[in-house]
Amino acid sequence: MNEGDIGTILREAMVIAVKLGGLPLLVGLAVGLVVSLLQAITQINDQALSFLSRAIAIGLTLVLIGPFMLATLSSFTTALFDRFITIGGS
């Protein structure tokens, strides 16, 4: 295994981390922005409202994209172990 292989594996891992973590973070950002805007308009300053709405939205997002996340991580892990076996066999 040379530096090029390690760089490729690290790049793929970073891309997968962004793919898997990006959507829940964007949903939390969007819900937080909408709730903050509604709180500013109605002048209700309750921290629990902001936290609970974001937590519920992120939880629902994780439930909906959970199978995609599992499939992506499984395929990456299988490909990574296959590379290790190929390197060990040579």
Tens digits of per-residue pLDDT, 34-88?
999 998 898 888 888 889 999 999 999 999 999 999 999 999 999 999 888 887 7
The structure tokens listed for 16 are 């997968």
Residue 60 tokens read as 């629902």
- Predicted confidence at residue 86, as pLDDT, reads 83
Cα(67)–Cα(42) distance, integer angstroms = 38
**CA-closest candidate to residue 59, choices 32, 37, 27:** 27
In the chain, % helix, strand, coil (3-state, to 5) comes to 90, 0, 10
User: Which uninterrupted H or E stretch holds 38?
Assistant: helix 3-42
Query: What is the model's pLDDT at position 73?
Result: 94
